Amino acid sequence: MEPQTNDRAYADLVSGLLDARTDPATGRFDAELDGAVTAGEMSVDVARRLRFWQRASLRALTDYTRTVLPTALGALEASRRDAQAYVDELLAALEGEKADEADVGAATPGKAPDAPGSAMTVTLAPQIDLEGPRPRLLVAGLVTTTEHHIRIENR
């Protein structure tokens, strides 16, 4: 069964927050345009075009946020699930290792597993599924390059 995701809830949350936003800067922008037109510093046509592109910029940013942010929140949720599954796998492997050690100690009654003359203890590394989910690391400002820069100093 696929784990339940909150994609719809994240989208609704982001949309609600964007819709509830007030924008006094746009009001100030409009007042400045109107003042420039009234003072004869700008034509009505230029003010209309500037207002149009300012509103288009805000709509584009809002659309981008509505698209990207819910997806990013869903990815964080999936990462938390993957990290928990990874810890659960490691815990199961560790508990299996402890059970194996207890079986070796029980094979030689009266002797600790590591005591001289006791049965040999073999400790295996936990089995880790390299094909399954792995924890992820998000790094802000990480930049990859395809070029290697070599600095040669003359001494």
Per-residue pLDDT at 102 exceeds 70: yes
Closest CA to 65 of 110, 1, 102, 18: 18
Residue 97 lies in a domain: no
Residue 153 lies in a domain: no
Tell me the backbone φ, ψ of residue 46, rounded to 5 degrees: -65, -45
Residue 128 to residue 89: CA distance in whole angstroms: 8
Q: Residue type at 60?
A: A
What residue has token string 């009654």? 109
DSSP SS3 for 57? helix
pLDDT of res. 1: 44
Positive or negative CA dihedral for 21, 24, 27, 33?
Answer: negative
pLDDT of res. 148: 47
Residue 146 lies in a domain: no
Residue 28 lies in a domain: yes
Residue 63 lies in a domain: yes
Closest CA to 5 of 71, 63, 49, 99: 71
Number of domains in the chain: 1
Residue 43 lies in a domain: yes
Per-residue pLDDT at 138 exceeds 90: no
Residue 53 lies in a domain: yes
Residue 70 lies in a domain: yes
Q: Residue type at 112?
A: A
3-class secondary structure per residue, 109-123: CCCCCCCCCCCCCCC
> Residues 41-85: pLDDT tens digits?
999 999 999 999 999 999 999 999 999 999 999 999 999 999 999
Q: What's the whole-model pTM score?
A: 0.51
pLDDT of res. 17: 93
Domain that holds residue 41: 7-80
Rounded to the nearest 10 degrees, the angle between the axes of helix 24-38 and helix 44-107 is 160
Per-residue pLDDT at 108 exceeds 90: no
Break the chain down into helix, strand, coil percent, rounded to 5: 60, 0, 40
